């Protein structure tokens, strides 16, 4: 089988031209799935606006100093908690292998005047990244317990059904202005500590005690980041947008705020509030008692905490947009339909995009299902489905297929609805569920693999017979190729790589892998060669044959974050060059061959060798050209 390149040579050139243009910045829009091309100077001045507005200070310290400081604090605390950081597995669980400083970038708000930016801190691979994720899982259950919590519009719809609406009720929505940066850290940590101590389910989630959790949170909230032009800032208060723990921490603080100022006796308007439901910073309110009282309440609630400021949106002609719904008030009920902002691009995965047919049709089916759930009126549903038809045809979907999918959906949606009602009845009659009765045709295992048109469909069929499911993972998208918002790194600072180093004087090479930065691994190699204390394949080859290595000829064969997968990839390359059990020194400098591979992989060796040859063609030595031709097989693969 041959894997085709999806992009034409012309498209590749276009991509290269766009990405090498330094006068522009390509970034995502805040909402609506659009991509924004912004003048670089404009982008930087919008970034400055954000920095001036929030609790940020320019930090004169160097990146390495800050990274070392955070690393030291973190390791000291983890050691106090009896975590054995000398154990490779433990270290991998809690610490980043080669941490980098977080970076701030902007999402452009295309739905607002002058297109301001929303600042986001990308925390991936910063020293506290892994700990933050663990803490998020520990804190999330506390956030969900909140009285006002709704996960999405479906949940709000359920709440609406349970409330009797009076003719003079009104709807409004409150929005907390820049919620995350407004959360006061000290107060929030104090509340979180109390909540953790009161949580008797905490031992089910972690064996860490509340005090240690708070100490880790304090370290994680020390946020330093770089901007696109390389300056370093420190955030002095508020939770950073983009850090995973900011979500639950904001919820925990807002829950406290609501208990203090909304649900409590001190709130003289408490009985006016029929519904107060919050999805992070968006609050839906159903209010009785008239406009004037609502105004007073709004002013009052903005007065209690200077950091937490609300904006209000009132219903217009009895209609209020909230989340992705439009809510219309009738004298005795509220009906919903789907709502889209005007700036929504109506772009979904294009029909020609490299995804399986099932996945693409799944998006349409999902949106049809959502329409059924959110549209109360038949005419709204029909209008929404007509819109979906037009939008998907405009996204390149064949007209006949769209119509067929829509036609079939009426039946499947009806079945789903009947199943849901039956399930409800079953649950009320017989509340205990029997786990073994539930879904019988579930897959036991699942393979995550990139999608390759024409090949993946067959693979899916074959694996289905073995009760193994296939989930396609998205690898490189056009978007991630053009959108580069991190300050540039040195090429040798690339980490998580499988690398290839050729000998300058013969055809032998070294293939290795590292989770660290390549530059650090290279330094280690050089040190081992100099000191001769440790066994080192490259050093042995250089000494025994009097050959030279030129480090600049190195090639990265693969970038892979998962260390197991990285070792497998390394072994695949090693085996392709040296299939026999004994190592042939004329082919490999490695003293060992890596992981043992199953026999069936041998079949792929010619293809892998071909890949290797292409990847390293620029760096292979020039002098022994004839040797090269003889040693590497010329007819490779199909
Ligand atoms: Zn050599």
- What's the pTM value of the predicted model, to 2 decimals? 0.79
The position carrying tokens 């409590």 is 264
Token pair for residue 594? 């890596």
The overall average pLDDT reported for the chain is: 87
What residues sit around ligand 1, an ion, with C-beta below 5 angstroms?
503, 505-506, 508, 547
pLDDT at 343 over 80: no
* Residue among 29, 48, 57 nearest 237 (CA): 57
SS3 289: coil
Phi, psi of 30 (to 5 degrees): -65, -40
pLDDT category at 638 given cuts 50, 70, 90 is very low
pLDDT at 66 over 80: yes
Q: How close is the Cα of 544 to the center of ligand 1, in Å?
A: 9
- CB-based contacts of 409: which residues, under 8 Å, 6+ apart? 365, 368, 369
Q: Which of 31-40, 368-377, 581-590, 614-623 has the lowest mean pLDDT?
A: 614-623
C-alpha distance from residue 552 to each of 93, 149, 317, 496, 519 (Å): 33, 56, 69, 18, 11
456 or 259: which leads in pLDDT = 259
Q: How close is the Cα of 358 to the center of ligand 1, in Å?
A: 51
Q: pLDDT tens digit string along 390-406?
A: 999 999 999 999 999 99
Q: How close is the Cα of 635 to the center of ligand 1, in Å?
A: 25
Q: How close is the Cα of 203 to the center of ligand 1, in Å?
A: 58
Q: How close is the Cα of 630 to the center of ligand 1, in Å?
A: 16
Phi, psi of 333 (to 5 degrees): -160, 170
Q: How close is the Cα of 538 to the center of ligand 1, in Å?
A: 9
pLDDT at 7 over 60: yes
Q: How close is the Cα of 570 to the center of ligand 1, in Å?
A: 20
* Residue among 374, 169, 380, 391 nearest 287 (CA): 169
- Cα radius of gyration (the chain): 29
Integer Cα distance of 104 and 118 in angstroms: 10
Q: How close is the Cα of 336 to the center of ligand 1, in Å?
A: 73
The winner for highest mean pLDDT among 51-60, 127-136, 344-353, 606-615 is 127-136
Instruction: Give me the pLDDT at residue 629, please.
Output: 41
pLDDT at 625 over 50: no
Q: How close is the Cα of 558 to the center of ligand 1, in Å?
A: 23
430 or 386: which leads in pLDDT = 386
What is the helix (H) or strand (E) element at residue 68, kind and residue range?
helix 63-80
Q: How close is the Cα of 588 to the center of ligand 1, in Å?
A: 9
Instruction: Give me the pLDDT at residue 439, please.
Output: 47
Integer Cα distance of 432 and 231 in angstroms: 58
Q: What is the 3-state secondary structure (H, E, C) of 541-591?
A: HHHHHCCCECHHHCEEEEECCCHHHHHHHHHHHHHHHCCCCCCCCCCECCC
Q: How close is the Cα of 610 to the center of ligand 1, in Å?
A: 21
Q: How close is the Cα of 531 to the center of ligand 1, in Å?
A: 20
C-alpha distance from residue 252 to each of 182, 188, 310, 348, 504 (Å): 13, 7, 17, 35, 60
Q: How close is the Cα of 547 to the center of ligand 1, in Å?
A: 5
pLDDT at 131 over 50: yes
- CB-based contacts of 279: which residues, under 8 Å, 6+ apart? 149, 150, 151, 152, 156, 323
DSSP string across 9-22: HHHHHHHHHHHH-T
Q: With pLDDT > 90 as the criterion, what percentage of the chain qualifies?
A: 47
Q: How close is the Cα of 563 to the center of ligand 1, in Å?
A: 29
Instruction: Give me the pLDDT at residue 165, please.
Output: 93
Domain extent listing, the chain? 24-345, 357-432, 489-631
Calculate the CA dihedral of residues 86, 88, 93, 98 and round it to 10 degrees.
Answer: 90
Q: How close is the Cα of 240 to the center of ligand 1, in Å?
A: 51
Q: Which of 391-395, 451-455, 624-628 has the lowest mean pLDDT?
A: 624-628
Q: How close is the Cα of 535 to the center of ligand 1, in Å?
A: 17
Q: How close is the Cα of 555 to the center of ligand 1, in Å?
A: 17
pLDDT at 151 over 60: yes
Residue 315 near residue 171, CB atoms below 8 Å: yes
Q: pLDDT tens digit string along 239-267?
A: 988 889 999 999 999 999 999 999 999 89
Q: How close is the Cα of 529 to the center of ligand 1, in Å?
A: 15
Q: Quick one: average pLDDT of 343-366?
A: 86
Token pair for residue 175? 């929005």
Q: How close is the Cα of 25 to the center of ligand 1, in Å?
A: 45
pLDDT at 472 over 60: yes
Q: How close is the Cα of 542 to the center of ligand 1, in Å?
A: 7
Token pair for residue 31? 């909402």
Q: How close is the Cα of 548 to the center of ligand 1, in Å?
A: 7
Phi, psi of 276 (to 5 degrees): -135, 100
Q: pLDDT tens digit string along 218-228?
A: 999 999 999 98
């Amino acid at each position: 089988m041959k894997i085709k390149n999806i992009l034409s040579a012309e498209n590749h050139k276009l991509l290269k031209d766009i990405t090498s243009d330094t006068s522009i910045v390509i970034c995502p829009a805040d909402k609506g799935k659009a991509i924004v091309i912004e003048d670089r100077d404009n982008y930087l001045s919008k970034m400055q606006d954000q920095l001036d507005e929030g609790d940020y200070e320019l930090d004169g310290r160097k990146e390495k100093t800050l990274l070392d400081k955070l690393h030291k604090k973190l390791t000291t605390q983890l050691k106090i908690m009896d975590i054995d950081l000398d154990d490779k597995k433990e270290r991998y669980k809690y610490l980043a292998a080669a941490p980098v400083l977080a970076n701030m970038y902007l999402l452009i708000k295309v739905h607002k005047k002058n297109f301001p930016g929303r600042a986001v801190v990308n925390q991936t691979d910063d020293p506290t990244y892994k700990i933050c994720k663990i803490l998020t899982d520990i804190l999330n259950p506390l956030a969900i317990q909140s009285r006002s919590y709704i996960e999405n519009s479906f949940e709000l719809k359920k709440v609406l059904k349970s409330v009797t609406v009076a003719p003079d009720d009104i709807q409004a929505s409150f929005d907390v202005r820049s919620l995350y940066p407004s959360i006061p850290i000290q107060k929030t940590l104090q509340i979180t500590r109390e909540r953790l101590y009161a949580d008797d389910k905490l031992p089910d989630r972690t064996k860490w005690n509340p005090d240690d959790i708070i100490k880790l949170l304090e370290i994680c909230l020390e946020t330093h980041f770089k901007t696109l032009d390389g300056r370093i800032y420190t955030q002095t208060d508020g939770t950073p947008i983009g850090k995973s723990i900011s979500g639950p921490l904001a919820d925990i603080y807002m829950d406290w705020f609501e208990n203090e100022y909304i649900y409590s006796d001190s709130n003289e308007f408490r009985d006016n509030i029929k519904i107060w439901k919050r999805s992070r910073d968006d609050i839906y309110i159903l209010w009785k008692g008239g406009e004037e009282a609502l105004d007073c309440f709004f002013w009052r609630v903005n007065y209690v905490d200077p950091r937490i400021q609300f904006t209000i949106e009132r219903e217009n002609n009895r209609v209020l947009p909230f989340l992705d719904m439009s809510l219309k008030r009738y004298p005795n009920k509220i009906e919903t339909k789907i709502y889209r902002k005007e700036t929504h691009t109506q772009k979904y995965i294009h029909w020609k995009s490299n995804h399986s047919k099932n996945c693409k049709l799944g998006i349409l089916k999902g949106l049809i299902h959502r329409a059924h759930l959110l549209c109360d009126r038949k005419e709204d549903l029909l209008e929404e489905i007509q819109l979906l038809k037009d939008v998907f045809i405009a996204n390149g979907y064949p007209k006949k297929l769209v119509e067929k999918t829509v036609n079939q959906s009426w039946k499947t949606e009806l079945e789903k609805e009947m199943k849901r009602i039956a399930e409800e009845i079953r649950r009320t009659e017989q509340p205990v569920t029997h786990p073994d009765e539930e879904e019988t045709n579930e897959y036991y295992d699942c393979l995550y693999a990139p999608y390759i048109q024409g090949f993946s469909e067959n693979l899916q069929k074959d694996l289905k017979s073995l009760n193994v499911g296939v989930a396609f993972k998205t690898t490189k998208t056009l978007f991630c190729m053009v959108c580069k918002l991190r300050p540039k790194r040195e090429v040798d600072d690339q980490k998580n790589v499988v690398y290839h180093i050729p000998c300058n004087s013969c055809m032998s090479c070294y293939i290795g892998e590292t989770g660290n930065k390549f530059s650090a691994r290279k330094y280690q190699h050089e040190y081992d060669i100099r000191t001769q204390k440790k066994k080192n394949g490259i050093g042995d080859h250089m000494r025994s044959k009097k050959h030279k290595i030129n480090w600049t000829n190195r090639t990265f064969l693969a970038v892979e974050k998962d260390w197991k997968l990285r070792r497998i990839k390394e072994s695949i390359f090693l085996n392709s060059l040296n299939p026999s059990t004994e190592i042939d020194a004329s082919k490999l400098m490695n003293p060992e061959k890596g992981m043992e591979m199953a026999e069936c992989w041998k079949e792929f060796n010619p293809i892998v060798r071909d890949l290797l040859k292409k990847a390293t063609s620029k760096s292979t030595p020039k002098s022994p050209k004839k040797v090269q031709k003889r040693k590497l097989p010329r007819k490779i693969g199909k």
